[in-house]
A and B are shown apart, each in its own frame.
Chain A
Amino acid sequence: MLAIGPTILVGRLLRAIVTLWLAVSAVFLALRTIPGDAADALMGQQMSAEGVALLRRQMGLDQPLIVQYASFMGDVLRGDLGLSLALGKPVSELILQVAPFTAVVVIGSLLIGAGIGVPLGIAAAKRRNSVVDVLARIFSLTGLVIPGFVIGILLMIPFSVWLGWFPVVGGGDIRDPPSLAYFGVLPCLAGGLGMAAYLTRLTRSIVLDLLREDFVRTARAKGASEAVVFYKHVLRNALVPIVTLLGLYAVVMIGDSIAIEIVFSRPGFGRLIMGGIAQRDYTVLQSVLLVYVLIAIAINFLVDLLYVWIDPRIQLTT
Chain B
Amino acid sequence: MTTIGIELLAAKPAPASPRRQALRAALGNPIGAIGAAGAVVLLFAAAFGPSLAPYDPLDQNILVRFAEPSAQHWLGADEYGRDMFSRILYASRASILIALSSVAVSLLIGVALGVVAAYRGGVLDALLSEAANILLAFPTVVVGILVLVSLGPGSANVVVALAISFIPRFIRLARAEALSIMQRNFVEAARAAGASGLRIMARHIVPNVIGTAIVSGALWTATALRAEATLSFLGLGVPLPWPSWGNLVADGMPNMFSNPELVLYPCLAIVFAVVSFNMLGDALRDYFDPRLAGR
Contacts and interface: CB of A to CB of B under 8 A. Distances in A.
A149 B149 contact: no
Nearest to A33: B150
B279 interface: yes
Contact of A146 (B31, B139, B256, B275): B275
Interface residues of A, number: 50
Contacts of A149: 229-230, 233, 249
B270 A30 contact: no
Given A142-B275, A161-B257, A252-B139, A30 B146 contact: yes
A160 to B, nearest CB: 9
Interface of B: 31, 130, 134, 137-142, 145-147, 149-152, 222-223, 225-226, 229-230, 233-236, 249, 253, 256-257, 260, 263-264, 267, 270-271, 274-275, 277-279, 282, 295
Given A201-B295, A258-B234, A296-B142, A145 B222 contact: yes
Contact of B141 (A162, A204, A258): A258
Contacts of B138: 23, 251, 292-293, 296
Nearest to B143: A255
B270 A146 contact: yes
A145 B278 contact: yes
Contacts of A201: 295
A255 B137 contact: no
Given A30-B149, A154-B271, A256-B141, 19 more contacts: A18-B134, A19-B137, A23-B134, A30-B146, A141-B282, A145-B222, A145-B275, A149-B233, A149-B249, A156-B256, A157-B260, A205-B295, A251-B138, A255-B139, A256-B139, A256-B230, A277-B236, A292-B142, A293-B142
B274 A146 contact: yes
A15 B130 CA distance: 9
Nearest to B147: A30
Most chain-B CB neighbours within 10 Å: which of A31, A146, A147, A201?
A147
Contacts of A204: 295
B274 A147 contact: yes
Contacts of A251: 137-139
A154 B267 contact: yes
Contacts of B134: 18-19, 22-23
User: What are the 8 A-B residue pairs with the smallest beta carbon separation, nearest first?
Assistant: A255-B139, A255-B141, A30-B150, A145-B274, A205-B295, A145-B278, A145-B222, A300-B137
A147 B226 contact: yes
Contacts of A157: 256, 260, 263-264
Contacts of A146: 226, 270-271, 274-275
Contacts of A285: 149
B contact face: mostly helix, strand, loop, or mixed: helix
Interface string A132-159: 0000000001101111111001101100
A208 B295 contact: yes
B142 A259 contact: no
A77 B170 CA distance: 34
B141 to A, nearest CB: 3
Given A141-B282, A273-B145, A153 B150 contact: no
A27 B146 CA distance: 7
Interface string A162-191: 100000100000000000000000000000
A277 B231 CA distance: 13
B131 to A, nearest CB: 9
Contacts of A144: 278
A262 B279 contact: no
Given A147-B226, A161-B260, A274-B234, A254 B142 contact: yes
A168 B253 CA distance: 11
Nearest to A144: B278
A109 to B, nearest CB: 13
Contacts of A26: 146
A260 to B, nearest CB: 10
A30 B130 CA distance: 21
A158 B246 CA distance: 20
A229 B167 CA distance: 43
Contact of A153 (B130, B149, B263): B263
A252 B141 CA distance: 8
10 contacts: A30-B150, A31-B150, A33-B151, A141-B31, A145-B226, A145-B277, A150-B270, A153-B264, A168-B256, A251-B138
Contacts of A168: 256-257
Contacts of B139: 251-252, 254-256, 292, 296
Interface string A19-60: 100110011001101100000000000000000000000000
A245 interface: no
Contacts of B149: 30-31, 34, 277, 285
A297 interface: yes
Interface in A262-311: 262-263, 273-274, 277, 285, 289, 292-293, 296-297, 300
